[in-house]
């Protein structure tokens, strides 16, 4: 599998009653396994929509989408849920933590759905919380955590189940620069040592500087797609 994500002529329209808004228009993109890619662009350019379609949380109006060799355009909702469960981690802007679960239970949740043994889930969740700087806070509920702490729980949850693809929508938006740097170090390590593919939607220049590929969206279309100078010199 060379490409972990393939988009062919992907368009997404939202029906707002009297009008239709086209969030993406004719997108052709491929992402190779092991990429560390940033999708940039102004607000409303289609970044979040692109990640939602790749993850299967939203469906394209037209075009074809393949993720991890699965044609998600033709998948049932059940099959899409299974793909996300087994292959994809997602970091949302709004955290999307389950309010009635503690931090460690939130991190365990995907592994619970995967059917992993309780002891394995707990050990992995504890390791991930420690890795994002939340050691000792696993018993707190989301309401007892700051926005930055909730974001770190969300990142721990996204990577705990060892997905092959992680989609991160503004993952450092609520973090101080030191914490953001530590978390990006962790994700770079997973990318380098485990081959996990990362696709970020961000305005954060510190993430952009780390990417080996940068894609710019404007008005739902690709304005620019380029590898970094480091990658280009190495090739």
Q: Which residue's entry shows tokens 């228009």?
A: 25
d(CA 124, CA 70): 28
Contact 215, 38 (CB under 8 A): yes
Would you state the pLDDT for residue 144? 97
d(CA 88, CA 78): 15
Would you state the pLDDT for residue 231? 38
Domain ranges of the chain: 3-234
d(CA 223, CA 235): 23
End-to-end CA, the chain: 20
The one-character DSSP state at 164 is S
d(CA 4, CA 8): 13
pLDDT tens figures, 117-169 = 999 999 999 999 999 999 999 999 999 999 989 999 999 999 999 999 999 99
Domain 3-234: CATH architecture, name and number where available:
3-Layer(aba) Sandwich (3.40)
Tokens for 123, please give them.
Answer: 């050990």
Model-level pTM? 0.88
pLDDT tens figures, 15-42 = 888 888 999 999 999 999 999 999 999 9
- Helix (H) / strand (E) element for 177: namely helix 177-194
Would you state the pLDDT for residue 66? 96
């Amino acid at each position: 599998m060379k490409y972990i994500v393939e988009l062919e002529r992907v368009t997404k329209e939202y029906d707002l009653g009297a009008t239709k808004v086209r969030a993406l228009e004719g997108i052709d993109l491929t992402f190779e396994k092991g990429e560390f890619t940033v999708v940039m662009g102004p607000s409303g350019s289609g970044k979040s929509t692109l990640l939602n379609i790749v993850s299967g949380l939203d469906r394209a109006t037209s075009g074809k989408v393949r993720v991890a060799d699965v044609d998600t355009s033709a998948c049932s909702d059940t099959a899409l849920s299974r793909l996300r469960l087994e292959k994809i981690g997602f970091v949302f802007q709004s955290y999307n933590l389950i309010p009635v679960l503690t931090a460690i239970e939130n991190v365990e949740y995907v592994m619970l759905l995967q059917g992993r043994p309780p002891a394995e889930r707990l050990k992995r969740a504890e390791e991930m919380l420690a890795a994002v700087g939340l050691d000792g806070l696993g018993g707190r509920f989301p309401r007892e955590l700051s926005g930055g702490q909730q974001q770190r729980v969300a990142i721990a949850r996204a990577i705990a189940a060892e997905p092959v693809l992680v989609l991160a929508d503004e993952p450092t938006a609520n973090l101080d620069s030191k914490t953001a740097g530590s978390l990006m170090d962790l994700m770079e390590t997973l990318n380098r040592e485990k081959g996990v593919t990362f696709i970020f939607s961000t305005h954060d220049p510190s993430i952009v500087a780390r990417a080996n590929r940068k894609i710019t969206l404007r008005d739902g279309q690709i304005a620019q797609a380029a590898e970094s100078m480091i990658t280009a010199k190495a090739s």
